[in-house]
Every structure is written in structure tokens, then in C-alpha cells.
Structure 1
Amino acid sequence: MGGTNQRIDGKRLWDSLMAMAEIGATPKGGVKRLTLTEVDKAGRERFTQWCEALGLTVRVDAIGNMFARREGRDPKRLPVLFGSHLDSQPSGGKFDGALGVIAGLEVMRTLNDLNITTEAPLELVNWTDEEGSRFGHSLMGSGAWAGVYPLPKVYGLQDVDGVTVEQALTAIGYKGEHKAEPFPADAYFELHIEQGPILEKEGKTIGVVTGAQAQVWWDARIVGQDSHAGTTPPYARKDALVAAAKVIELVDRRMRERGDDGRGTVGYVKVVPNSRNVVPGEVLFSVEFRHPDTAQIEHLAASFPPEAMALVEGTGCRLELTELFRFPAQPFDAECVALVQQAADRLGFASRRIISGAGHDAVYVARKLPTAMIFTPCKDGLSHNEAESILPEEAEAGCQVLFEAVVARANRSA
């Protein structure tokens, strides 16, 4: 590695990642730290202990976002933020989210080791409920902070047991006193595993993330008529599942027309009554498209619904499409991206510029602060899976780039 002689401790970073992975550990080697559960509380408390041991001041806002502050030399300077999330999918991996938080902790530890005081203050962030796996609303903490989601609406969201977000926050003691809203800050950096195969396939150590894809999501409901499978002839059928299959094929076709940049997915399907000898009368399913070009998503948002409606009407069924959200491609800040690129180059890491295919807290933070992300490879591009895996040296490289970028930003000329 090139660059300065200021080095993070790769072994300490890895040991801390493994220690955090003990909280909510699953038999298959992954983690289950669903947001705002007792397991999530245990992860938060270990994070707090580690931060306070470094002399950092930890505060919690009204949606449970955690900010661990290290003072800078100039109290008038705005803080540089960096972090990610500690919550996981129900069968998640050790590194999704946690890498960014624990690497941020290692940045703080290294600065203490080297007795370095940055010009600007630093704040390490653990965002609440990035995954959305409990309350069905991903990027919840950063979205509430950025003003994308009104806090009263977020508080009222319920899990499958009818527990609201506000009740869950209160139950684990993380409904903080500070307002969940943007505060004056200089920039935000986030380290994350790629969650895709590109870096590994191309032999790159670092992904310099230039922005995130545009997206549009729908809830779809097709209504037909359930009837006896043995007695209903073809002309009398209104098979909602057949109609859904036509729409699902359309999603796949529209995705593939857009080449390697195209993304189109139906990830959830519920068939009613879901009986072996009944023609399905209702199907509920999800539809989403993603693309780096906002214009492509706007085109799909306009053209897909009427195309899908026509296909369904041809089966004698009826389609209802409810658009959940649509947001444009989110470019990251050119100066922050340049700091990541410069750090990778200075350290001698093979890198490439890359668009984030997944949503991350950085996407919403970027609406309020200059933002950049750093990707590290993950084995076979696998994530949201207990087999999710990265190498210790990949974690170390990502953390070192984070260190260099954060310190450079914090020490830049005011």
C-alpha cells in the first residue's frame, strides 16, 4: 500500500466485526439483528461501549439514529459524518451495514492511537432500520432524518405483530431526545460491501461509488375469479395467476431491453386462495424497476402500467397498480467522490467507478449533505444471505480508504 504511513489496524477491525457478528448470530454463520428488537439493542449497546471507551460522545435522535462525536481542533468547523447501519435482514450476513459502522469505529480508534486531532469534528453514525425487514420501510432512519418520511407516519408503522415503530423505540430505550432532522454538517461518507459481483469479477479492490440508481416500485393486485380447477373450462376462466405471469414476463422483458444496466424484479407474490384445485382468483405481487438513468425510469413509470393493464384485461381479469415510490438517480458529490478516488490511487488499490444498484442510507443523506460511498467486493456478489462473505484484507482496504477520505475532508482548507 502507498499513501501516508497512517495505518488502520486490520486485525482489530476484523476482530470487532466478528465480535459484533456474535450478537444475533445464526447457525449458518450469518446474523439476525432485526431493527429495534432486543438483539438490535444489544448491538447498539456494544457499539456505545466501544465509542465511549474512545472518549466519543454518543447522542440518539427521535428515530433512534446514533451519532458518536469526536471533537476537532476548530470548534467552528462543521463535522464530517461517516457510518452505515447495524440492523440486518432476517437471514442476513455479517458485513452488510456493519462493515461501515465498525470501519468507522476503527477510523476513530486509529486517530486516537496516532494522537491525531482533525481540524473538523468527526461523527460516526449508526442509522436506524436501513433494511426495512421488520416494518416494511427501508432507509427509515436516514429517511426520517432527511425529511423524506414524516416522523409521525414512521412512528405509526407496524410490524406483523402490530407493534409500532414508536412502541419498539420506547421498549428498547432508543427514542432519543434529539430531533430527527438534518443538522449543520460538512459531508458524509459510507463504506459498504458491493452486494453485487462486479468488483470481484473485474479484480478490483475498491469501488468508487458515483451515485445510486433511479427506482420506481409498485404494489400490484390482479383480481380474477376463483373457481373449481376440474369443472371450469378455458372459456370460463378468469385466472389471476396466469394474468400475473404475463405481467411478470413483461417486467423481465422490459428489464432485458435495457441491457446490463437494466433491473426489473418481482420479488413477492401471494396467490389467493392458494389451493391446488382452485383456479386462482387473486394475486398480490411487487414490481420494481431500477436504472442509472432517471429518464429510463420515468419512461417505464409512464409506459409499464398501460402495457400491464392491457395484458391483464386480455385474460378477463383486472389489474390494480399502486405506485409506492419513485425517485430519480442520486448523484454523489464530485469533491467527495474525488477524495475516495484519490485515496484509492494513493494507496495503490485497483479501483473502478461504479453506480450503486442497492439503496443505501447515503442516498437520502445525499439530499442534504455532500456524500460519497466506498464499495468493497463480496464473494460471488452474495448479500442478504447468511453465506455473505468478504476477506479480511478487503475490509482493511476499504477501511483505509475511508480513513484517508474522511481525514482529508476534515483537514481541508476552511
Structure 2
Amino acid sequence: MNIEVAEVRQTLEWLSSISDETGPGTTRLLYSPSWLTAQKALKEKFESLGMECRFDAVGNLFGTLVGSESPERKIATGSHVDTVVRGGKLDGQLGIFGGYLAVKHLLETCGRPKKSLEIISMAEEEGSRFPYVFWGSKNIFGLARPEDVTHLKDGQGVGFVDAMRGCGFDFGDGKVKDDLDAFIELHIEQGNFLEEENVTVGVVNSIVGQKRYNITLRGEANHAGTTLMRYRKDTVECLSRIVVHCLDKAKAAGDPLVLTFGKVVPKPNTVNVVPGETLFTMDCRHTDAAFLQAFTAELEADMKAIAAKAGIDIEIDNWMNEKPVSMDANVVSIIERVCRARQLNYKVMHSGAGHDSQIFAPRVPTGMIFVPSIKGISHNPAEDTKLEDLCEGIKALAYTLHELAY
């Protein structure tokens, strides 16, 4: 199968240009104008291949190439269409346009499949506009509840439900999609393992579990000049002690544990006032569920002790708790076999980032295919992958879909 570099470049540039901002990077947040434009444009692309297309209630897009023998059973591929703010040109959307190119070439070279092939452009995964992740894939399996999002607002005060209805969508009926025999997601690695190992295709066997927190410290705001150090209840000092302690503990635990303090909002956030309140986030990930739970429980206890010693009140909100997920052993074996047969340069690996596949995997036989990320950069306008590596990943996807559907 000949996947042309020029065709990959053209399709990539077309989709990544649909953005709410004029760069750098691509910004396409859930239920924004560019999000809706992208979903409608993808629908036209899929229909140009003769695929039957539909949106579900919340805006997930399904394009189906109807099978010749068992049309009611589907082999699906795809990913999420939303991005982070000023994100890269590959995260999420590679799985969509790569799926489109794979299906296009399969149709041209092999004709119609026996089972139906389906491309899913999922509404949302990132949680970038509203603090809720996997809205698209969770709705596919009836896992999302209206009460989870009805109170949510974005940074401009726009309500989740208002934004959704403004795009012409509404809550689903909670039905579970039950016509999938397999799901394969093509994605960039978002790390540097494949590049460092000089490998072009990653065959993913598991996805790390992750816990995300919003944590608030409350002390006392006071004058920066007249409040002696021994009388202060400084929440930034408390935060500093927490961060150093927790990161030291994470480094001692070693790979594959990772810990990140990514957002800090001190209040009143001015030069001459002791910060009386500080909000910060914590993100912790590991491939072993029991270890992740035990480690974060220790961190929570440690943070409470550090805050108590400083006379600071602490509020810990663990708003995301996703367990590690294994990919289907048979699907992983099929991807490996395809890579060996086609002499693709591959390695089996785990994913350190969360993906829609972790929602699919407990319910549908699921596999993931990674391509390298240059310098391991992602969620950044500099996110990139060599076009030749993209072609190899799309080939691996196409051959896997052929194995499963033809």
C-alpha cells in the first residue's frame, strides 16, 4: 500500500488550519465555531468516499463504509477532534485524518470490506474548555451523565449546556454503542521513547492511570512590608514546600511514575501583598493502579501535614481518577503480526498519556498505534512528526483494519 507523503501533508494542513485563533498552533475547543466547522468538513470528506455519516446527540461524528457480508458489525478507528489551546497539529486529529486516508486507500486497493469500517471523530477528550474529559467517548458508551456538566462554565462564563445547544446538539439518551468488534486508535506518542529508540511505530499494550487534583490553600493576605516573616500565613511558601517535598518523593519512586504541578494561581497575585490564597493543580500517573492509589494517598496526607504545620487550611479535590487500562491482547498481537509481515520498524510500549482508547478498551477489543513525536513535544505549536513516520503509522493502521475487516 502506497501512502504518499504529499497526500498526508495536504490532509494534515487542511484539518489543522481549522482553528479559532490564527496561531501559533491549532485551537479547536469543544463546541466552538472551529470545532463545528471541522466536524462538518470531516463529514463531507467521509461522504466523498461513499461513507454513510451521522452525528449522535452530543456531536460525535460517525462515518461508515458499509461492509459487503456483515454490515451490522463494525471495525472502527478514529480519535478526538478537539485540541488544547494553541496545541499541535497532530494530537487527536491524526487518528481522524489518518483513519480517513487508511480507509480511502483500502477502498481503492481492496474494494469494500466484509465488515463495515467506521471512522469516529469524537467530540472531546482534552478537557481544555470545560473541566470534564472524554465527553465524546463516554457518551458513546452511555457513561456520561447530564448532571456531570450542567453546572460547568468555561473561562468566559459560557455554560457547557448553552455551548452544546448552540452547536445544535443536546444530551444523549444514554444508549450504549454495541456494534463494534474492534477499535484501533492511531496517535502521536507525545513522548520521546520512539524517537530515542529510532523506531517508527509503537504498538501500545497499556495506558497509564492518572489522577488529577485541584488544590486550594487558604492562609491570610497581608501587607508585604509590615508583616514580619514569623507572623505570616503565606500560601505560596506553603505551596513551595509541598511541591519540593512531593517531587522529591516522585523522583525517588522512579519510572514509570510521573508527577506534575502544572497550574498555580495565587491571590491577590500582586507584588506587595502576602498571598492569602493559592489554587494549584496536581497530575500523577502510573501503569499500576494499586501503586498510583497508594502513592497519591501518601501525597495527600503529606500535603495536609505541611499545611497544618504552616497554619494553612487546605482543600483537596481529586476530580479525575482514571485507572490504568490494558489493550486487548489479541488486537495487540494482530498489530504486531501486521508490522512484522510488512517489515515495519516497531516496538511494544505503554502510553504515558490518556486517550479515548482507555474508554473503549474495557468494552470493545481495542488497540493503539503510535508514531514518534519529534523531541517528545506535544500540547505545543512545535508538536510535529516526520511525514515519513506518519505514512508508516497510517500504513500500520490500514493493514490492521484490513486484517480485521476484510
1:336 is the counterpart of 2:331: yes
How far apart are the structure 2 equivalents of 1:136 and 1:344?
38
How far apart are the structure 1 equivalents of 2:212 and 2:179?
32
- Whether the aligned pair in 1 keeps the contact of 2:5 and 2:391 (CA below 8 Å) is yes
- Whether the aligned pair in 2 keeps the contact of 1:82 and 1:189 (CA below 8 Å) is yes
Q: Deviations over 1:121-161 (max 9, x none)?
A: 11100011112111122222112323443144335532223
What residue in structure 2 maps to residue 324 of structure 1?
319
For the structure 1 residues 175 and 407, does the alpha-carbon distance in structure 2 shift closer, same or farther, using more than 3 Å as the test? farther
How far apart are the structure 2 equivalents of 1:350 and 1:48?
33
How far apart are the structure 1 equivalents of 2:209 and 2:272?
41
Gaps of 5+ in 2: none
Q: Structure 1-normalised TM-score?
A: 0.93
What residue in structure 2 maps to residue 47 of structure 1?
42
What residue in structure 1 maps to residue 19 of structure 2?
24
Which one is further off, 136-145 or 21-30?
A: 21-30
Q: Partner amino acid for 1:88?
A: T
How far apart are the structure 2 equivalents of 1:148 and 1:301?
25
What residue in structure 2 maps to residue 111 of structure 1?
106
Please point out which of 41, 63, 76 is paired with 2:58. Answer: 63
Which one is further off, 108-117 or 221-230?
A: 108-117
What residue in structure 2 maps to residue 3 of structure 1?
none
What residue in structure 2 maps to residue 373 of structure 1?
368
**Secondary structure in 2 aligned to 1:143?**
helix
- 1:164 Cα deviation (Å)? 2.8
**Equivalences, count:** 406
Residue identity (%): 30
- Whether the aligned pair in 1 keeps the contact of 2:213 and 2:282 (CA below 8 Å) is yes
**Secondary structure in 2 aligned to 1:225?**
coil
- 1:12 Cα deviation (Å)? 1.9
How far apart are the structure 1 equivalents of 2:173 and 2:55?
6
- Whether the aligned pair in 1 keeps the contact of 2:327 and 2:366 (CA below 8 Å) is yes
Q: Deviations over 1:320-378 (max 9, x none)?
A: 11221223210110011111211222222222111111111111111211111000001
Please point out which of 183, 194, 212 is paired with 2:189. Answer: 194
**Secondary structure in 2 aligned to 1:257?**
helix
How far apart are the structure 1 equivalents of 2:165 and 2:71?
34
Please point out which of 314, 331, 356 is paired with 2:309. Answer: 314
Over the aligned positions, Cα root-mean-square deviation in angstroms equals 1.9
How far apart are the structure 1 equivalents of 2:304 and 2:50?
59
How far apart are the structure 2 equivalents of 1:169 and 1:235?
51
How far apart are the structure 1 equivalents of 2:293 and 2:386?
39
1:227 is the counterpart of 2:222: yes
For the structure 1 residues 273 and 222, does the alpha-carbon distance in structure 2 shift closer, same or farther, using more than 3 Å as the test? same
For the structure 1 residues 135 and 62, does the alpha-carbon distance in structure 2 shift closer, same or farther, using more than 3 Å as the test? same
- 1:25 Cα deviation (Å)? 7.7
What residue in structure 2 maps to residue 95 of structure 1?
90
For the structure 1 residues 10 and 74, does the alpha-carbon distance in structure 2 shift closer, same or farther, using more than 3 Å as the test? farther
Q: Structure 2-normalised TM-score?
A: 0.95
**Secondary structure in 2 aligned to 1:114?**
helix
- 1:108 Cα deviation (Å)? 1.7
Please point out which of 203, 206, 210 is paired with 1:211. Answer: 206
